[in-house]
Amino acid sequence: MRYLCLVHFDVNILLAMTPEERQDLDRRSIAYDEDLRRRGAFLRSDALEGPDAAVLVRRRDGQTLASDGPYLETKEQMGGFILIEARDLNEAVDLAAGIPIAAFGTIEVRPVYLIPTPP
């Protein structure tokens, strides 16, 4: 089964870090991806620009509407994701718990929904 680990955190925590702390976090985050890859659990990951860089897109009545983010004003924002392969939800939770940012942010684990093939 595939699970998407959405990595949420308060960007102010990152901004308050010293450059050394930031580098250490980045190093550990990259190392964890490597760990997951060795376990056969890694599918894909990326960090994201902040919500102020987001464009919100909708189509209504055939018109494309674009507006600025952020959509929601919450303290923690989604800042990246890791798509993993795990045997079940509890294995996914264990893997998500190992993501270094889980120590101060929140990882939302979402099972991938398999869209039924249309007949």
Tell me which residues touch another protein (CB under 8 A): 1, 31, 35, 38-41, 87-91, 93-94, 111
How near is the Cβ of 88 to another protein at its closest, in Å? 3
Please state, in angstroms and rounded to a whole number, the distance separating the CA atoms of residues 14 and 10: 7
Half-sphere CA count of 69, side-chain side, radius 13 A: 14
Closest-CA residue to 106 (of 13, 43, 41, 20): 13
How near is the Cβ of 30 to another protein at its closest, in Å? 12
Is the CB of 22 or the CB of 39 nearer to another protein?
39
Contact at 8 Å (CB) between 41 and 85? yes
Please state, in angstroms and rounded to a whole number, the distance separating the CA atoms of residues 58 and 62: 10
How near is the Cβ of 94 to another protein at its closest, in Å? 6
How near is the Cβ of 40 to another protein at its closest, in Å? 4
Is the CB of 41 or the CB of 51 nearer to another protein?
41
Is the CB of 69 or the CB of 110 nearer to another protein?
110
70: exposed, middle or buried (C-beta count within 10 Å: 0-12, 13-18, 19+)?
A: middle
Is the CB of 51 or the CB of 92 nearer to another protein?
92
